[in-house]
């Protein structure tokens, strides 16, 4: 997944840790949260 790789780079964290943080904070997967934030 290219989007998560780019965001992980921006925040200087691993893709896996970013995905876990998104789920923890939003209750949504990274791809679900990304779709919602883009609308």
* Parent domain of 6: 2-38
8: CB partners within 8 A, 6+ apart: 14, 15, 17, 18
Taking 60 as the threshold, does the pLDDT of residue 33 lie above it? yes
pLDDT of 29 reads 81
- On whether the CB atoms of residues 12 and 21 are closer than 8 A, the answer is no
How many domains is the chain built from?
A: 1
CA 20 – CA 5 distance, rounded (Å):
13
- pTM, 2 dp: 0.67
Q: Which residue has the higher pLDDT, 37 or 20?
A: 20
- On whether the CB atoms of residues 25 and 32 are closer than 8 A, the answer is no
């Amino acid at each position: 997944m290219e989007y998560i790789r780019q965001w992980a780079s921006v925040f200087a964290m691993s893709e896996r840790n970013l995905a876990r943080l998104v789920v923890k904070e939003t209750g949504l997967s990274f791809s679900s949260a990304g779709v919602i934030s883009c609308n």
